[in-house]
């Protein structure tokens, strides 16, 4: 997507010099900087949450595998002799 952004002249000059020094394009430099800024903000938002809450939903793509594991565990617990646990 193309967009227009108003960047202070001094910052734009520094960015051009930096891009040239490291052998990259302004586009790549801007994307990298924006990604880092967004990641930093996301990290700060998650910092106040308990670890389990920050990761909540992270296993959603593995729902089928999780169901299979849960089913296998339930099957095994059905085989346990209750008297052996007393």
- The interaxial angle of helices 9-22 and 26-47, nearest 10 deg, is 110
Q: Name the residue among 2, 28, 3 with its Cα closest to residue 15.
A: 28
Tell me if 38 sits within 8 A of 46, measured CB to CB: no
Whole-structure pTM value? 0.50
pLDDT tens per residue across span 42-83: 777 666 666 666 666 666 777 888 888 888 888 887 776 767
Q: Name the residue among 35, 12, 16 with its Cα closest to residue 24.
A: 16
Question: Which pLDDT does position 53 carry in this prediction?
Answer: 66
Supply the DSSP symbol for 55.
T
């Amino acid at each position: 997507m193309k967009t227009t952004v108003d960047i202070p002249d001094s910052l734009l000059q520094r960015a051009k010099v930096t891009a040239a020094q490291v052998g990259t394009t302004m586009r790549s430099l801007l994307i990298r900087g924006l990604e880092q800024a967004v990641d930093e903000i996301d990290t700060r938002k998650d910092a106040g949450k308990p670890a389990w809450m920050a990761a909540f939903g992270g296993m959603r793509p593995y729902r089928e595998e999780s169901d299979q594991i849960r089913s296998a565990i339930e099957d095994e617990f059905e085989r346990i002799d209750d008297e052996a646990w007393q």
